[in-house]
Structure 1
């Protein structure tokens, strides 16, 4: 056994006992016991001084971890997710100095030791689904506990400081029943944090200190049904915010200093509280304005927003019903040899049941989406501009996709530098092979060639931006959702790198979304 480096017993569902580790096993670096029926780990595990990865995922009978595990000075990855009977972890966990990734998702842990939050080298922490025995008895039993504190729920525990987790790059707290005040105000001290998932929680607002997360790239707030407003966002070079199905969301953040941004994507699918909110409409265009005003050395690559809407704003001077729009260039104007900064596109799409001939794509899930293509002059080659996708059936009504790309920041293979007088943008819907009954359809689209002057035009305080069609009795409006009905309903309830590719090529590498 002295030369054994990897021991994998995954899925041995009848394995209930692991013999003690004896002798010299310093070469063993990977031990996988996931899916077994073991109830405990022998304390002799401390003999595995070279162990780097320990996988105990879905050991449903596992009751505890031995304190000897803290002697594993080389351990970098520890996974106990799905160990539904595991209620505690060792108090001196911080002694595992090399630990970089810890997954406690789906465990029965009520209190985490304070040492968990003093793990200076921890980079990834998963606590998803740690809800506790009852929301009435534990607000944040998932153990964000360094000190005992009071929240708006007197039975709740909150974390009062995160100062020591300065290497943490990913934090997943989805479906943890986090209530208002459960997230500490100093979350902004996580200077290395890039990916923050708060999906499916119960808070109404977020700490304002989130704006100081200077490396944050992904913020997932999906299905936070009580969330009413977003704080100001960090001024980072790349930022994706997903707020789909936040049905109480009615206030958007003030635009960050997005002149620095190279990538910005904000999704608010089914957030109907935003419908008719003129302040939110203007906020969207205020973000666009700052993008247009972007100056060197930062190069604007992509700006995307998806929100409920059924109307192409008049600012888009080329508008059409259907899925494509043609732009004719003025005389002596060329995209890369003039004062043109880029182009802004807008498309209205809606759900569609049982499409007659859906375009199929090789996405690995039941999904549907939209691809945006461009074609210059008489060229037969289409350039994939951007793409978005959703779970089939997720989109419930008319939505608007607003995107902006700069000519200088996005010009693969000198695509825009040829001689042409017009170009066409088209939007094509698709669905995965596993889901062909629910898809999307394009209703209308618009485009505007953006100049430096447009930034000033967007700043006109007297111009009203309307994203939703006024309610009337026409048949077309019946497909939209009445703001009256939306308000009544919810009051009662309480990325990708682009490339020149054929239109049929999969978007697996082209779409950027978690």
Structure 2
């Protein structure tokens, strides 16, 4: 099938629900009859690098997952009608050659996941739908600004923008995410180039991958969760899973050997986690009376590491309080209790 140049007529498959076309390097055209399939729910066209004729998909109203990645599609070659797919939940256009997305992504009111990584020519992000949870635009080397794409995205909780050339927008985007709906019972993961966030982190990051955090009085009442920040290089974020262990420690631990992080030549990426107290409510020892916790990034080294608390937000300040939980689509961060070490394990997939 790798030498397939054109697909057959699809009229004989009226109930087709799932289709994957992958690694057909000679494929140039998908038959126009394909555009009339209203029952299709999953479509993946991957690494068909000569594909230039893609039928409109405007009639695929039941489509929930659309993946067209690694096809070298240029401006104007993205199939028309994507903005009309009212039930679409996941859109993957990674590893293509377009510079602008001239489709109305903001109209996709059910979209939860948008993947645009490895689009080397992409120069800006479009307005995004309000219920988006995951955005991956890593390795978009021409991406220099994020604009205000996130202003209505109150469910946004996993953003990857590493290996882009974006400057000075990290703090603004992080604060916007912390004002969203994940603040009370959710979690967040944020990967961003540069050192804007760690330079302003309070209290400051410390050298290494371990941090002992002194808990203020009434911390469970006045704050909503932990914000954890690590500074490292490409080696750290190239791994599949990152794990942070959290343990209780004595409040009289000595800090004489702690060294404050300072920028170094190897620092390339900032990783930020947010974990709400709501996700930790079943941890028996995490109670108001404890005075200090130790956080450690397991197995991997980083040059700087730190923890702070995020103040509670006034519920009236949240613009969206729908009972529909967008986080049910995917778990950004996994919380486990390691009984052997009596530690909380915070795991995130990158």
Same fold, judged at TM 0.5 (above): yes
**After superposition, what is the alpha-carbon deviation per residue over 1:337-394, rounded to whole angstroms, capped at 9, x for unaligned?**
x1211121211012569xxxxxxxxxxxx94653222223459xxxxxxxxxxxxxxx
Matched, 1:349 2:232: yes
CA RMSD of aligned residues (A): 3.1
Q: Are the equivalent residues in 2 in contact too, given 1:242–1:267 (CA < 8 A)?
A: yes
**After superposition, what is the alpha-carbon deviation per residue over 1:262-294, rounded to whole angstroms, capped at 9, x for unaligned?**
x611112221x11xx23x234323423423xx4
Distance 1:403 1:208 in 2: 31
- Give matches, 1:283-298, under 5 Å: 283-291=172-180, 294=181
- Give matches, 1:314-463, under 5 Å: 314-331=200-217, 333-335=218-220, 338-351=221-234, 367=239, 370-377=242-249, 398-414=268-284, 416-417=286-287, 419-430=289-300, 441-452=301-312
Distance 2:337 2:103 in 1: 41
After the TM superposition, list the runs of 4 or more consecutive aligned residues in structure 1 that deviate by more than 6 angstroms: none
SS in 1 for 2:179: helix
SS in 2 for 1:283: helix
Q: Are the equivalent residues in 1 in contact too, given 2:250–2:291 (CA < 8 A)?
A: no
- Give matches, 1:73-222, under 5 Å: 83-91=1-9, 93-107=10-24, 108-132=26-50, 140-141=51-52, 143-146=53-56, 162-184=57-79, 186-207=81-102, 209-222=104-117
Q: Which structure has the greater CA radius of gyration?
A: 1
Q: How does the TM-score come out when normalised to structure 2?
A: 0.78
Tell me the CA shift for residue 323 of structure 1.
1.2
Distance 1:203 1:256 in 2: 24
Q: Are the equivalent residues in 2 in contact too, given 1:88–1:110 (CA < 8 A)?
A: yes
Label 1:214 to 1:410 Cα distance change in 2 as closer, same or farther (>3 A).
Answer: farther
**After superposition, what is the alpha-carbon deviation per residue over 1:5-57, rounded to whole angstroms, capped at 9, x for unaligned?**
xxxxxxxxxxxxxxxxxxxxxxxxxxxxxxxxxxxxxxxxxxxxxxxxxxxxx
Q: Are the equivalent residues in 1 in contact too, given 2:247–2:294 (CA < 8 A)?
A: yes
Aligned length in residues: 312
Of residues 304, 323, 334, the one that matches 1:497 is 334
Distance 1:413 1:195 in 2: 33
Distance 2:193 2:222 in 1: 32
Tell me the CA shift for residue 257 of structure 1.
3.0
Q: Are the equivalent residues in 1 in contact too, given 2:185–2:277 (CA < 8 A)?
A: no
SS in 2 for 1:497: strand
Label 1:241 to 1:102 Cα distance change in 2 as closer, same or farther (>3 A).
Answer: same
